Amino acid sequence: MNSKFSWENYIVSIAWSCVAMLLVLPLAGDAHEINTSYLALTLKADEIRVVLSVDEADLIRLDTQIDANGDGGLWRDEVEAGGERVAQQLRERIQVQLDDESTPLKMLGASPDIDGDGNLFLRVVYAVPTTGEPRELALDLSLLLQPPLLAEHRSLVSFRVDAQQPELLSVLSAASPQDRFQLREEVDLLAQVGDFIWLGIKHIFVGYDHIMFLAALIVIGSRLGQLVKIVSAFTVAHSITLILAALEVVTLPTRWVEAGIALSIAYVALENFWIQDSKHRWLLTFGFGFVHGFGFANVLRDLGLPSEGLVASLLAFNIGVEMGQIVIVAIMLPVVLLAARQGFQPRLIQVASGIILLFGVGWFVERLFGLSYMPI
């Protein structure tokens, strides 16, 4: 049998196929249900932001009144009109505990949202206020993941810290509606103490002004007992102000503190030219130690102090500073004692004190008048 191709029949066939697809697609769309809600947790400075997204089919199940025209589907204006009412109901179904203490959600807003596939959602934003630094959040969706939602409904939960990338942490269902999330890592206090000891040691080795202050004290020493007394007085004094300043019990302007440190260096170096007896010098270093303690505290504030184990961290930093000082004294003192034994100490005092004096005066002018300098 011979058949003849007809463009007219071909076009009609395509048209009918398109009509059939248009008829079938809505049915397919009606048959497809997401059965998934999305819960995003974001840890911020003073709150935990909770964003819940619920699709239109589940919205109708949760509150039939939201379908104002009764057509079995939702329009954007229907979600806008009834979304806040549903959001208030959902707020009561999300149970949150911070460190095992129940915390109610505060609603910030509710609005319609459409995803990349054209699905209509209600997007609700809640906030959980925080005090201090909570470590654990317990989430319980038992009241949410129950009828009228379907048994196969799932809630995908993600968590992130402020601007960091989100990470999918949990999939909750009616069978498993609870989970716990660590908001902050557990603090290893021993490791933290070790870190602050190292910071104290490092600060002394890169703190050239403090090294020069110690050098100015050590260079005139000929008796170990007097030197121990001088360094101990300095240690006690700066330990007091370090703790007071770091805890913000007493604070001083950084510029004045840095200028005071430079002035102490210049004065001790200058005094080396005429001092005959260092027996009472510990009183002077005790006074200057207070100033240096404020300088150490400024360094700690710049590094950032932990809220947990604060006192232990301060003491650890101070121990690190003392360890660094001991190493410096152990290196310099043999040189000074050898010079004294060989009769070169007067010349060593003059040369070393002259160099230290120049640096001290230069730092003092720089810091007092706010010129370009790098605080150490």
User: Do residue 239 and residue 287 come from a single domain?
Assistant: yes
Average pLDDT estimate for 198-227:
82
Using the 3D structure, point to which of 182, 206, 240 is the last residue of a domain.
182
**36 three-class SS:** strand
294 lies in a domain?
A: yes
User: Do residue 198 and residue 148 come from a single domain?
Assistant: no
Burial code of 330-342, b = ≥16 C-beta within 10 A, e = fewer?
eebeeebbebbee
Contact 126, 50 (CB under 8 A): yes
User: Do residue 129 and residue 232 come from a single domain?
Assistant: no
Cα–Cα dist 208/374, whole Å:
11
Contact 180, 96 (CB under 8 A): no
User: Do residue 203 and residue 327 come from a single domain?
Assistant: yes
Torsion of Cα atoms, 180 then 185 then 190 then 196, to 10°:
-160
pLDDT at 302: 66
Averaged confidence pLDDT in the chain: 81
109 lies in a domain?
A: yes
Average pLDDT estimate for 31-52:
81
pLDDT at 143: 92
User: Do residue 199 and residue 170 come from a single domain?
Assistant: no
28 lies in a domain?
A: no
Average pLDDT estimate for 320-336:
87
pLDDT at 187: 57
Using the 3D structure, point to which of 182, 205, 223 is the last residue of a domain.
182
User: Do residue 268 and residue 123 come from a single domain?
Assistant: no
Using the 3D structure, point to which of 125, 159, 182 is the last residue of a domain.
182
202 lies in a domain?
A: yes
> Residue 217 pairs with which residues in a beta bridge?
none
User: Do residue 141 and residue 194 come from a single domain?
Assistant: no
4 lies in a domain?
A: no
Torsion of Cα atoms, 185 then 190 then 195 then 197, to 10°:
150
pLDDT band at 357 (very low <50, low <70, confident <90, very high): very high
Sheet holding 106-114, edge to edge: 106-114, 120-129, 47-55, 36-43, 154-161, 167-173
Domain residues for 155?
A: 34-182
The residue that leads in pLDDT, 11 or 72, is 72
Respond yes or no on whether the N-terminal peptide bond of residue 375 is cis (omega within 30° of 0): no
User: Do residue 143 and residue 195 come from a single domain?
Assistant: no
pLDDT at 2: 45
Q: Please give the tally of structural domains in the chain.
A: 2
pLDDT band at 360 (very low <50, low <70, confident <90, very high): very high
Cα–Cα dist 52/125, whole Å:
7
296 lies in a domain?
A: yes
Instruction: Say how many C-beta atoms besides its own lie within 10 A of residue 234's C-beta.
Output: 26
Question: Considering the chain, what percentage of its residues have pLDDT values greater than 90?
Answer: 16
pLDDT at 24: 39
25 lies in a domain?
A: no
Cα–Cα dist 162/140, whole Å:
22
Average pLDDT estimate for 227-245:
86
6 lies in a domain?
A: no
User: Do residue 104 and residue 242 come from a single domain?
Assistant: no
pLDDT at 51 over 60: yes
Contact 363, 196 (CB under 8 A): no
User: Do residue 346 and residue 199 come from a single domain?
Assistant: yes
User: Do residue 58 and residue 198 come from a single domain?
Assistant: no
Question: Considering the chain, what percentage of its residues have pLDDT values greater than 70?
Answer: 83
User: Do residue 138 and residue 197 come from a single domain?
Assistant: no
In tens, the pLDDT along 107-149 reads 999 999 888 777 889 999 999 988 877 888 889 999 999 999 9
pLDDT at 173 over 80: yes
| AA letter at 132 | G
Cα–Cα dist 260/46, whole Å:
38
In tens, the pLDDT along 24-40 reads 343 333 434 678 889 98
